[in-house]
Amino acid sequence: MRPNIILLVALLVVSAGVLAAGCTLPSGNVTPPTAPPTGTETPSVTETTVAGTGTPAATATTAGTDVTTTTTTGVAGGGATTIDLTAENIAFDTSTITVPAGAEVTVNFNNMDDGTPHNFAVYTDSSAAEEIFVGDTITGPDTTTYTFTAPEEPGTYFFRCDVHPQQMTGDFIVQ
Ligand SMILES: [Cu+2]
């Protein structure tokens, strides 16, 4: 039994050695050229990812600073109010927004429509001839924060999405 096993092992070792020797030359030639390019590509991808991440972060910080400054300045007028507004399937999630007269209004706008631009804008009436506030358009899915001062005069004003002025409209009530 033992001699047979030793023979088998010896044969396997020898066979493996011959196979390995036979494969060594082709393998050795192919491996070195492949390795350097792979190592070079990996750092490039990493740099691109870092650059992309940095830009949005900087934008968000700037927007947050502006909001804080504006709110602080406007508090003396008529207090502050915050509204959550969502755009989905080319529609706002509300048709009426009510705010105190002269209030510093913060609108947390959520555009859920993938690839579709929306904004939020307030006008004196549905003719949209005289603007009170026009927010920047964002393409979903994305969120932004608008801040502006509500009119001092109570009444029913008009809000809409300028991109979809027929489908996305509502009453902007100041009281
Ligand atoms: Cu829209």
Following DSSP, what letter does each residue of 57-100 receive, concatenated? HHHHHHHHHHHHHHHHHHHHHH-EEEEEEEE-SSSBS-SEEEE-
Range of weakest confidence among 15-29, 75-89, 129-143: 15-29
Of 9, 41, 76, the residue at which a domain comes to its end is 76
Is 170 found in the same domain as 99? yes
Mean predicted lDDT score pLDDT of the chain: 72
Is the peptide bond between 141 and the residue preceding it cis, with omega within 30 degrees of 0? Answer: yes
Of 42, 76, 110, the residue at which a domain comes to its end is 76
Is 63 found in the same domain as 1? yes
Is 83 found in the same domain as 30? no
Is 102 found in the same domain as 57? no
Is 29 found in the same domain as 93? no
Is 72 found in the same domain as 41? yes
Is 36 found in the same domain as 47? yes
Of 49, 76, 103, the residue at which a domain comes to its end is 76
CB under 8 Å to 48, separation ≥6 — which residues? none
Is 125 found in the same domain as 87? yes
101-132, pLDDT tens digit by residue? 999 999 999 999 999 999 999 999 999 999 99
Instruction: Give distance in angstroms: CA of 129 to centre of ligand 1.
Output: 18
Q: What is the span of the domain harbouring residue 86?
A: 79-174
Is 98 found in the same domain as 66? no
Instruction: Give distance in angstroms: CA of 109 to centre of ligand 1.
Output: 12
149-169, pLDDT tens digit by residue? 999 999 999 999 999 999 999
Instruction: Give distance in angstroms: CA of 110 to centre of ligand 1.
Output: 11
Q: What is d(CA 116, CA 118) in angstroms, rounded to the nearest whole number?
A: 7
Instruction: Give distance in angstroms: CA of 126 to centre of ligand 1.
Output: 16
- Does pLDDT of 21 surpass 70? no
Is 163 found in the same domain as 133? yes
Is 47 found in the same domain as 108? no
- Does pLDDT of 48 surpass 60? no
In which region does residue 79 sit, left (phi positive, over 0), alpha (psi from -120 to 50) or beta (all else)?
left
The total number of structural domains in the chain stands at 2
